[in-house]
């Protein structure tokens, strides 16, 4: 008998998170993410961890940040409406540099939308949902196994860069079951946030040495004493009205990601070496794209797939590196053209960019992608 087991994407998110060391989950039920809360309620206490169902998503993200400040790897999971409610405190987490993972299993919106239908309309919200200039890391899996391994990476990046990481799933992957053989937990690489060695009051808890980007602090309750705030703050963590200090702080927070894109960005490329057309996609859309690309290759067409796994920051250098050999890009996503803007910005007119999108809650099929691929230039119509 095979060692593989049938596992749902949402379930893999929980198992992966637990393998990464997640020991606290606060959430509020919402389709299609609810299984993540249910599995966390079942599994966390078995691991000595804690689950709490909060009164709403505002409370969920706040409790997650609180638990993380007290030293636990913490996560919440939601979908569009709840993700909207969490936005303010995502900015808080970025500003106060508190690691956590926020899973958004996207569903069709706007508003309550189609609760059980797939979509990828939260892509831009994941980047710009909270106010102000802020750092963002967002990862998007396309299979059940990748959900498991990638959410471990989400925790690792959150810990390493002391920032919330958005795990941007979609209903396609969240509710899909696949046979998976999970890696041996002993082979996994697990990061832990940098800690200081300070005891007692620390007036420099947010101090970052030249050439580094991330402060080192102990969690609350381990002997180091300091203040955390969402206000612009100095190295002591105390609010400041100094424009100079505020400017330096926000710049460092942004540099933390911008100067480390090579470490943060991951892309899956399939058959790209000789491709003349790249189909760009992310998350569950890759399922239809891969079927279409394989079929196109069978027909002898030079088509490849370029799939950002790190969707924020958008891996623009990786895409730019492919532009020399490409004649055409087809962006396929379950929204009205969100990653499309990043692709267009990156390409800057050097390659023609076509688009296939969907906003009705149904899934784009391989045949539709093949049909779009076989459209000659000039036949394409704006979406």
Partner 1 sequence: MSQQYQMRFAGSGGQGVILASVILAEAAVICGFQAVQSQAYGPEARGGVSKAETIVSREKIWFSKVLRPDFLLALNQSSLNAYAPSLAEGGVVMIDDSLSAAALPEGTRFIAVPILRTARETVGKAFTANIVAVGAINAALRLFPDEQLAEAVERHIPAGTEAINRKALAAGAALIGAETARAFARSWE
Partner 2 sequence: MPSDLVHLYMRIDHLPQMWCPGCGNGVIMRDVAVAIDELIHDEESGVNREDIVIVSGIGCSSRAAGYLDFNSIHTTHGRAIAFASGIKMANPRLHVIVLTGDGDCSAIGGNHLIHAARRNLGLTVIAFNNDIYGMTGGQYSPTTPNGDKATTAPYGNVDRPFDIARLASGAGASFSARGDVYHARETIDIIKQAILHKGFSLVDVYSICPTYYGRKNKKGDAVEMLRWQKENLIPTARYYNMREDERADKKLIGILSYNDYPEYTEEYAKVIARSRESLKKNGGAKT
The rounded distance, in Å, linking the Cα atoms of 306 and 289 is: 10
In this structure, what token pair is assigned to residue 259?
Answer: 């100067």
Which partner in partner 1, partner 2, none is near 116 (CB below 5 to 8 A by kind)? Answer: partner 1
Binding partner 2 by CB under 8 A: which of 110, 185, 223, 247?
223
The rounded distance, in Å, linking the Cα atoms of 293 and 271 is: 9
The rounded distance, in Å, linking the Cα atoms of 42 and 40 is: 5
The reply on whether position 227 binds partner 2 by CB under 8 A is yes
Binding partner 1 by CB under 8 A: which of 56, 116, 259, 336?
116
Q: How far is the CB of 155 from partner 1 (least distance, A)?
A: 26
Radius of gyration of the chain (CA): 21
Contact assessment for residue 208 and residue 233, using Cβ atoms and an 8 Å cutoff: no
Q: How far is the CB of 255 from partner 2 (least distance, A)?
A: 24
The reply on whether position 249 binds partner 2 by CB under 8 A is no
Nearest CA to 220 among 238, 239, 244, 196?
196
The rounded distance, in Å, linking the Cα atoms of 171 and 9 is: 9
Q: Which residues lie below 8 Å from residue 366, measured CB to CB, with a gap of 6+?
A: 288, 289, 291, 292, 295
Q: How far is the CB of 146 from partner 2 (least distance, A)?
A: 21
Stretch that binds partner 1, among 99-107, 112-120, 184-192, 335-343 (CB under 8 A): 112-120
**Secondary structure, 3-state, 84-133:** HHHHHHHHHHHHHCCCEEEEEEEEECCCCCEEEEECCCCHHHHHHCCCCC
Q: What is the dihedral of CA 296, 272, 9, 85, to 10 degrees?
A: -110
The reply on whether position 37 binds partner 1 by CB under 8 A is no
* Residues from 152 through 211 that contact partner 1 (CB under 8 A): 172, 175-179
* Residues from 15 through 74 that contact partner 2 (CB under 8 A): 24, 26, 39, 42-43, 45-46, 48, 50, 52, 54-56, 58-60, 62-72, 74
Half-sphere exposure of 262 (CA within 13 A, CB side): 1
Which partner in partner 2, partner 1, none is near 30 (CB below 5 to 8 A by kind)? Answer: none
In this structure, what token pair is assigned to residue 347?
Answer: 């390409």
Token look-up 């891996």 returns 315
**Binding pattern to partner 2, positions 85-104, x when CB under 8 A?**
---xx--x---x--------
Q: How far is the CB of 64 from partner 2 (least distance, A)?
A: 6
- Residue 12 or 288: which CB sits closer to partner 1? 288
**Binding pattern to partner 1, positions 261-300, x when CB under 8 A?**
-----------------------x-xxx-xx--xx-----
Q: Which residues lie below 8 Å from residue 17, measured CB to CB, with a gap of 6+?
A: 25, 40, 73, 75, 101, 151, 152, 155
Token look-up 């958008």 returns 314
Q: Which residues make up the interface to partner 2 (CB under 8 A)?
A: 11, 24, 26, 39, 42-43, 45-46, 48, 50, 52, 54-56, 58-60, 62-72, 74, 88-89, 92, 96, 201, 203, 220-223, 225-231, 238-239
Q: Which residues make up the interface to partner 1 (CB under 8 A)?
A: 1-2, 4-6, 115-117, 172, 175-179, 284, 286-288, 290-291, 294-295, 363, 365-366
């Amino acid at each position: 008998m095979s060692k593989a087991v049938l596992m749902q994407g949402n379930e893999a998110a929980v198992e992966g998170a637990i393998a990464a060391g997640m020991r606290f989950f606060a959430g509020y039920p919402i389709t299609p993410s609810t299984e993540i809360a249910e599995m966390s309620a079942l599994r966390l206490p078995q691991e000595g961890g804690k689950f709490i169902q909060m009164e709403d998503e505002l409370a969920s993200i706040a409790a997650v940040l609180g638990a993380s400040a007290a030293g636990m790897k913490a996560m919440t999971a939601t979908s569009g409406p709840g993700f909207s409610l969490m936005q303010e405190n995502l900015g808080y987490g970025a500003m106060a540099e508190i690691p956590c993972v926020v899973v958004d299993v996207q569903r069709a919106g706007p508003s309550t939308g189609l609760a059980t239908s797939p979509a990828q309309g939260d892509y831009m919200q994941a980047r710009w949902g909270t106010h102000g200039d802020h750092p963002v890391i967002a990862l998007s899996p396309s299979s059940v196994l990748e959900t498991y391994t990638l959410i471990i990476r989400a925790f690792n990046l959150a810990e390493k860069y002391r920032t919330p990481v958005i795990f941007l799933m979609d209903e396609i992957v969240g509710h899909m079951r696949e046979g998976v053989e999970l890696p041996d937990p002993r082979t996994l690489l697990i990061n832990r946030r940098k800690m200081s060695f300070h005891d007692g009051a620390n007036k420099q808890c947010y101090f970052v040495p030249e050439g580094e980007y991330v402060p080192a602090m102990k969690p609350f309750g381990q002997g180091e004493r300091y203040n955390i705030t969402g206000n612009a703050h100095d190295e002591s963590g105390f609010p400041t009205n100094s424009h100079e200090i505020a400017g330096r702080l926000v710049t460092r927070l942004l540099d933390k990601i911008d100067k480390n894109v090579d470490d943060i960005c991951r892309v899956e490329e399939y058959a790209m070496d000789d491709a003349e057309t790249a189909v760009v996609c992310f998350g569950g859309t890759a399922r239809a794209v891969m079927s279409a690309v394989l079929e196109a290759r069978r027909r002898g067409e030079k088509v490849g797939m370029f799939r950002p796994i790190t969707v924020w920051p958008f891996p623009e250098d990786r895409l730019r590196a492919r532009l020399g050999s490409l004649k055409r890009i087809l962006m396929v996503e379950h929204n009205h053209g969100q990653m499309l803007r990043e692709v267009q910005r990156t390409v800057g007119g050097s390659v023609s960019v076509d688009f296939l999108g969907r906003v009705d809650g149904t899934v784009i099929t391989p045949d539709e992608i093949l049909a779009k691929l076989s459209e000659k230039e000039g036949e394409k119509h704006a979406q």
